[in-house]
Every structure is written in C-alpha cells, then in structure tokens.
Amino acid sequence: MKQANISDFCALEDKEYLSKVKEFFKDKKHTYFVETYGCQMNVRISQTLAGMFQEMGYVPAESKEEADAVIFNTCCVREGAEDRLLGNLGKLKQIKKKKPEMLIMVCGCMVQEQGSAEKLKKRFPFCSVLFGTHNVHEMPKLMFSALTKGERQVSVWEKEGDIVENMPALREKEASAFVNIMYGCNNFCSYCIVPYVRGRERSRRSEDIIAEVRQLVKEGKKEITLLGQNVNSYGKNSDEISFPELLRELNKIDGLERIRFMTSHPKDLSDQLISAMAECEKVCKYIHLPVQSGSNRILKLMNRHYTREDYLLIVKKLREKMPDVAISTDIIVGFPTESEQDFEDTLDLYKQVCYNSAFTFVYSKRIGTPAEKMEEQIPAEITKDRMARLIALSEECCLRANEKYLGRTLEVLVEGVSKKDESLVFGRSDCGRMVTFSGCACLTGKIVKVKITSVKLNTLIGEME
Ligand code: 5AD
Ligand code: SF4
C-alpha cells in the first residue's frame, strides 16, 4: 500500500462554493440542523458538516423541523440505525409540504451502500441532496446546484479519493476532541458492511495529526480521542510511523493531558503498543478491544484472524504491564450457526476477562457481506434469550470491576453539571468510567481528584479531594 494521497481543502474548487452559497442567501438568515447516526467517526464527520454550514453563513436551528437545511449523516452497520433514519425522513416529508424551500439532505454510509442512493432517491423524492462517504467536501457544491437550479443532486463516488485536510469543523465545546488518524478498513470481517462503504485503509500523515492536536491544545482541549476503524494498523505498509510511535509523539505535546484511542483490532495489537500505553503517562490506561465472540469456530467464520487463546494472551499481557487497565469490548450475539456451546464459550471468555463494560449487538444481516449467504441464521427467540444472559453477566462484571475503585482516588475530567441534580457534576476518569460528585459548573473542563465512595452500574460516585 502506498502512502495515501492528500489534498488541501483550501486548494480545492469545492471550497469556493462556501462563499457562493453564502452570497446566494445575502443577508437572509438561514438555519441548519445536522442529525448523526452511528459511530464516533460519524460524530466527527458531522462536525465537518456543521463547520461547512457555518462558513456558508448558516446558523444552528433549535430543531430539525424548524431548520432551513437538514442533513442526516447515516449509518448502515445494523438494521436499527437504518430504520430510525427512514422513520425520521418520513416525518420531515409533512413539514416540507408546508415549507417547500426546506433543503433535506442525506449523506454517509447508507447512501454509499451499493444501489442504495438510487433507492433512497426514488423512495424520498423530497430529498434534494444525497452524497456518500468519499465526497463530504462536495457538500457546498451540491447544495449550491440544488439551491440555484432547483434540481436534485446525487453524487456517490465509487471509490475513496484523496484524504482531504483542513476542512472546516465545528468542534465540541468540551475539553475533549475527536481526531481522525485513518479512514477505511481492510479487514472484511464477514458480518461487517464498513469496508464496503468506507473504502480501503488510508492513514493521515503523522505531521498533520500532530499539528491538529497542537492546535486543539491551543484552543483549550485537554483530551483527544484518536479515531480509526483499526488504529493498530495506522501507517502500516507506508512510510508513516507506527501507531505506538504516533502515541509517543503525541505524548510529548505540552498542555495535552490525556490521549485515548479507538478501535483496536486484537489481531494487530502489538507488544510495542502495550509498552507505549504503559510508558506514556498521557495515554489513558483504557482499551476498547472488540472480541465479537469467544468461540474459535465462530471467530474463524467471522474472519477475525485470532483465537480466544490469542485474545486471552493479549489481555494477560495488558494486565501484566498495566495492572489497572480498564478493558471494554463489542460482542455479537446470534452470528449465523452460533450454537449453545459457541455462546457458552463467549460467556466463559467474558467471565475470564471480566470486562469493565461491553457493547452487545444482535447479529444483523447486511446485504453483500459473506455472512449474508451463510445458512442457518439464528431465530430471534434464541438470540433474545442469549442476549439477556450476556447482559446479566456483563452487569455483574461491570459492578465487580467498579467495586475495585472503592476508596481510590481517580482523576476526572469534568464534562458538566448533572441534568438530574444541579448540585452534582460529572466527568470521565482516566480509565473511562463515568464519575459523579458534588461540585459547581466552574469545574467544567478541569481535571480534578475524586475519591470514590460508592458505585452503581453506570457511574462511580465520589467526593472531590
Ligand atoms: N451485526 C451486528 N453487529 C455488528 N457490528 C458490525 N457489524 C455488525 C452486524 N452486521 C458490531 C461489531 C463492531 C461494532 C462497531 O458493531 O461488534 O465491533
Ligand atoms: Fe468492520 Fe471488522 Fe473493519 Fe471493524 S475491523 S470495521 S468489524 S470489518
């Protein structure tokens, strides 16, 4: 794999359309609303969409119903996200009838799926603009054409293009920020649609990542979360530095206090990464390490390229170097052919690791993936029962893991005041747990020491020292 090609947004013709749209509206106030489905990657892309809207002179709307332009940034990883989008689009149809000038747009993974743009175009004739995952930078141009010509615009690039740097972005207000380090995925896990809609793996240049993080620190950010479908293969087969080396470089940045990352594929998790995590004081001692299944037979069918033994060995090594490391995971229940024994293997692995937390998903058939063709899809009543058993176990382990923090002092980056009780503030510990304690709004964005006095399933409760 060659180094990915990089383009600068400022040098692209697409950028000119930001001012053309602004000019189109002149002094008329126009509002936007971005609705995001799916993963953190999409959250980050929505910040770029919002950044472009702002540069086109749009201001945020209170709700999508009131907005002059609405964009749905979609996800197709499971059926649920798709259903929610379809429901929400249907509701907007009625509003558009009363407000015909409203611009309704759909972008992202669902549009990128093969044949999907045409289907969406037919099914939702009131959508003015549709674009995929590879041409987000074209949004202003497509909007300009839709606004000035009154014609619907559909643009889906079949393949990924250059990585576009220096796009506008409206970041989160908090002291924490997402930073992409790579795009796409080469792993082709047999159940997963992501490689088909996000293209091949491309790594950003480390100098661009480092410059972005430095800039974020200047703007007051204390914590960054590095994003990639598989951060462990950052820079592989190119002349870029490796992921552990990138962590070491970022660790040197003055003013940055915390570095997080996700997601790590177990097959690519190296000893060098474990050492970098252990040795870099800014890197949080927390790792999200999706196992998907504890059965070797299912792992093979999933095309995951590791066994349960390999996985357990990684967990052992992580805990040897970082005894307090927090570990979370993703698990799919009801993968085609999953037997009771396979599922019990998953429960057994779960017990052995005793995860801090887990995202658990019922297998969702995705058109075009190898698993779609697998015989023996598991009936819903069986997956429901297995899911209930897995959730019960995960709650038990989560509580047990939380109890280990009792009496200990954790560093918490305060995110804000609790909605339920104004005398409480909340934030995340270095190990990624939610912590609540008595405090005022003035602590927001600060890192404070909190002694843990009691624990619940989803929160640790404490007192500021
Ligand atoms: N069905 C259920 N879960 C899935 N995931 C990915 N594809 C599917 C699917 N077809 C889950 C995996 C992955 C997480 C982001 O989503 O567990 O780690
Ligand atoms: Fe999907 Fe597997 Fe790539 Fe993760 S690593 S995005 S599960 S194909």
Atom of ligand 1 nearest to the CA of 369: 10
Residue type, 305: H
Among protein residues, the one with the nearest Cα to ligand 1's atom 2 is: 363
Q: Which of 129, 133, 132 is nearest to 141 (CA)?
A: 129
Task: Read off the pLDDT band of 2 (50, 70, 90).
Answer: low
27 and 148 co-located in one domain: yes
Same domain, 256 and 343: no
Residues 46 and 190 in one domain: no
Is 142 a domain residue?
A: yes
| 236 compared with 107, residue with greater pLDDT | 107
Which atom of ligand 2 is the closest one to the Cα of 193?
A: 1
Task: Give the length of the chain.
Answer: 465
- Number of structural domains the chain divides into: 4
List beta partners, residue 411: 449
- Dihedrals phi, psi of 168, to nearest 5 degrees: -65, 155
pLDDT for the residue 4: 73
Q: What is the mean pLDDT of residues 46-57?
A: 97
- Using the mean position of ligand 2's atoms as its centre, give its distance from the Cα of residue 143 in Å: 32
- CATH code at position 382: 3.30.750.200
Question: CB–CB of 337/310 below 8 Å?
Answer: no
pLDDT at residue 195 in the model: 96
Q: Are 53 and 43 in contact (CB under 8 A)?
A: no
pLDDT band at 173 (very low <50, low <70, confident <90, very high): confident
Instruction: Give yes or no for a contact between 424 and 416, defined as CB atoms under 8 angstroms apart.
Output: no
Q: Is residue 422 part of a domain?
A: yes
288 lines ligand 2 (CB under 6 A): no
Q: Do 143 and 233 reside in the same domain of the chain? A: no
CA of 25 to the centre of ligand 1 (A): 42
Q: Is the pLDDT of residue 1 over 70?
A: no
The predicted pLDDT at position 424 comes to 96
* Domain end point (choices 90, 125, 155): 155
What tens digit of pLDDT does each residue of 255-290 get?
A: 999 999 999 999 999 999 999 999 999 999 999 999
CA of 325 to the centre of ligand 1 (A): 24
Cα–Cα–Cα angle for 74, 196, 378, rounded to 5 degrees: 85
Residue 165 inside a domain? The answer is no
Domain extent for 275: 172-284
Q: The domain spanning residue 39 has which CATH number?
A: 3.40.50.12160
Judge whether 315 lies within some domain.
yes
Closest residue (by CA) to atom 17 of ligand 1? 330
- pLDDT per residue as tens digits for the range 381-430: 999 999 999 999 999 999 999 999 999 999 999 999 999 899 999 999 99
DSSP 8-state assignment for residue 62? S
pLDDT given at position 375: 86
Q: Which of 112, 72, 113 is closest to 92 using CA atoms?
A: 72
pLDDT at 381: 96
Split at pLDDT 50, 70, 90, the class of 238 is confident
The verdict on the CB of residue 450 being under 6 Å from ligand 2 is: no
- Claim to verify: residue 293 and residue 376 sit in the same structural domain: yes
Q: Tell whether 146 and 103 lie within a shared domain.
A: yes
Mean pLDDT value across the chain: 95
Looking at the structure, tell me whether residues 106 and 183 fall in a common domain: no
Distance in Å, CA 120 to ligand 1 centroid = 23
270 and 210 within one domain: yes
Task: Find the CATH number of the domain harbouring 275.
Answer: 3.30.750.210
Q: Is residue 351 part of a domain?
A: yes
Q: What is the pLDDT of residue 303?
A: 98
Q: Ligand 2: distance of its center to the CA of 303 in Å?
A: 10
Domain co-membership, 265 together with 291? no
Query: Rounded distance, CA 465 to CA 463, Å?
Result: 6
- The answer as to whether 163 is a domain residue is no
Task: Clarify whether residues 373 and 274 are in a common domain.
Answer: no
187 lines ligand 2 (CB under 6 A): yes
Which residue of 41, 77, 299, 304 sits with most ligand 1 atoms within 8 Å of its CB, as the best mutation to test the pocket? 77
Residues 204 and 320 in one domain: no
Q: Give the distance (Å) from ligand 1 centre to CA of residue 330.
A: 8
Q: What percent of the chain has pLDDT over 70?
A: 99
* Ligand 2 contacts CB of residue 185 (under 6 A): yes
Provide the edge-to-edge strand list for the sheet that holds 223-227. Answer: 176-180, 223-227, 258-262
pLDDT tens digits, one per residue of 305-327: 999 999 999 999 999 999 999 99
On whether both 151 and 6 belong to a single domain, the answer is yes
Asked whether residue 262 is domain-assigned, the answer is yes
Does the CB atom of residue 370 touch ligand 2 within 6 A? no
Asked if the structure places residue 363 within a domain, the reply is yes
Residue 369 to residue 367: CA distance in whole angstroms: 6
pTM for this structure?
0.95
Residue 239 pLDDT class (50, 70, 90 cuts): confident
Within 6 Å (CB) of ligand 1, which residues are found? 77-78, 191-192, 290, 292, 330, 332, 361, 363-364, 366
Closest CA to 326 of 386, 408, 388, 267: 408
